[in-house]
């Protein structure tokens, strides 16, 4: 069980810090200061190399997102930090986040929790390579809380877009990366920090695999890009661990997941996930991150397709269309290649016998649920 010190800057989900918020003290001081933000002047000389040139090229594609925090977000931060501050609707403060421009006509990808933690009327701040900045009101929002990704639309044209790595470009441990975003205040917009990809395929309090990085990621960086040394986006920063004695544990949604979610949101306004319609229980080893070949156990059967196939509580799931699955994240990653209505063959154990079940996948706004075991629920 993770024992984390959660500071006032944190929005907490299952012991993980989501990084789209700022300290309550900052809310008040930023609201009262009345400062005018001036974007930094960014210019890459033809002789400059490495970080300088890359940051100058990508920065105009990174936006700041600012809004009034919802009462729920404010109170959640207060509770998490032990702060007994009262919510003041006349002075609720300011919340910050980041985003990445993906179309010239104003579509931006960010984190779902960034926009969810703001009241309607959030603003997007853009700047070009000369440092000239503009402010736009968010017009449309399409959000997917499962992946923690969202699309927002502003009424703009001629914006500079970011490029994402292709699906063939697999991130590697040790690869140099740069994180860009708006930590704590608009006066710090387009702050760049550097590091490496520390790990890949991290199943950390998320429905899909994440990248791990040691690049400094701070509250307000949520929704900003993690870029490689070619200036291409390898992922969208989403959260970090915070605890006494824990440093540089940031996590990023990989580009291939971002592209999958974006495509669905553009096509349907939602993510139409394929699902078995089951609640599944992972093994204790899987829950604590141990390498394992253990199978998944059916804890409950919900969909008509699964019931029709004869799947029962207590059955064990080994594979889907010949692919072994050991965790619910494995299953979610696999089902990105399927759509609701597709049929799949499952190899399972039922009443002691190895059987094959054919199931028609259902549509779910979430994913096949995972049921906590005792190892997940407690312990020192």
Which residues are CB-neighbours of 116 under 8 A, at least 6 positions away? 70, 73, 143, 145, 150
The C-alpha angle 347, 351, 352, rounded to 5 degrees, equals 75
For residue 212, what are its two tokens? 């791990």
Count of Cβ atoms closer than 10 Å to residue 281 Cβ: 22
For residue 147, what are its two tokens? 């992946």
Which residues are CB-neighbours of 255 under 8 A, at least 6 positions away? 164, 165, 167, 233, 234, 235
User: Could you report how far apart the first and last alpha carbons of the chain are, in Å?
Assistant: 6
Q: Name the one residue in this structure whose structure tokens are 């070949």.
A: 293
Q: Tell me which DSSP letter residue 227 carries.
A: E
> Does residue 113 have an active-site annotation?
yes
> Does residue 376 have an active-site annotation?
no
Q: Which of 191, 241, 184 is nearest to 24 (CA)?
A: 184
Which residues are CB-neighbours of 72 under 8 A, at least 6 positions away? none
**Among 222, 275, 283, 364, the one annotated catalytic:** 222
**Among 59, 61, 98, 113, the one annotated catalytic:** 113
> Does residue 230 have an active-site annotation?
no
For residue 311, what are its two tokens? 């799947």
How far apart are the C-alpha atoms of 54 and 374, rounded to whole Å? 47
Residues in the chain: 380
Is the distance from CB of 98 to CB of 222 less than 8 angstroms? Answer: yes
Max CA pair span of the chain: 70
**Among 59, 144, 147, 148, the one annotated catalytic:** 148
Is the distance from CB of 1 to CB of 380 less than 8 angstroms? Answer: yes
Active site residues: 113, 148, 222
């Amino acid at each position: 069980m993770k024992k984390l010190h959660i500071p006032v800057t944190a929005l907490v989900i299952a012991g993980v810090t989501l990084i789209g918020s700022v300290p309550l003290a900052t809310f008040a001081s930023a609201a009262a200061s009345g400062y005018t933000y001036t974007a930094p002047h960014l210019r890459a000389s033809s002789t400059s190399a490495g970080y300088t040139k890359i940051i100058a090229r990508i920065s105009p594609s990174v936006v700041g997102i600012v809004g009034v925090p919802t009462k729920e977000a404010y109170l959640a931060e207060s509770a998490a930090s032990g702060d007994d501050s009262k919510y003041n609707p006349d002075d609720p403060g300011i919340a910050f986040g980041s985003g990445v421009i993906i179309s010239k006509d104003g579509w931006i990808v960010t984190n779902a929790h960034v926009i969810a933690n703001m009241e309607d009327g959030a603003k997007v701040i853009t700047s070009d390579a000369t440092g000239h900045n503009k402010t736009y009101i968010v017009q449309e929002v399409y959000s997917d809380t499962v992946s923690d990704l969202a699309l927002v639309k502003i009424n703009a044209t001629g914006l500079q877009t970011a490029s994402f790595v292709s699906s063939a470009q697999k991130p590697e441990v040790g690869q140099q990366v740069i994180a860009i975003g708006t930590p704590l205040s608009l006066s710090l917009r387009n702050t760049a920090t550097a590091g490496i990809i520390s790990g890949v395929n991290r199943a950390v309090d998320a429905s899909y695999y994440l990248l791990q990085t040691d690049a400094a990621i701070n509250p307000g960086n949520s929704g900003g890009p993690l870029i490689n040394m070619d200036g291409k986006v390898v992922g969208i920063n989403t959260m970090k661990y915070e605890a006494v004695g824990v440093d540089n544990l940031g996590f990023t949604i990989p580009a291939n997941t971002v592209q999958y979610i974006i495509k669905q949101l553009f096509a349907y306004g939602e993510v139409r996930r394929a699902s078995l319609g089951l609640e599944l229980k992972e093994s204790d080893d899987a829950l604590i991150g141990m390498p394992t070949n253990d199978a998944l156990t059916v804890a409950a059967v919900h969909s008509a397709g699964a019931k029709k196939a004869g799947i029962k509580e207590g059955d064990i799931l080994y594979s889907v269309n010949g692919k072994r699955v050991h965790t619910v994240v494995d299953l979610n990653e696999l089902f990105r290649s399927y759509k609701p209505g597709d049929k799949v063959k499952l190899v399972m154990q039922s009443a002691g016998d190895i059987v094959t079940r054919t199931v028609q996948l259902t549509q779910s706004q979430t994913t096949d649920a995972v049921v906590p075991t005792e190892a997940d629920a407690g312990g020192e």
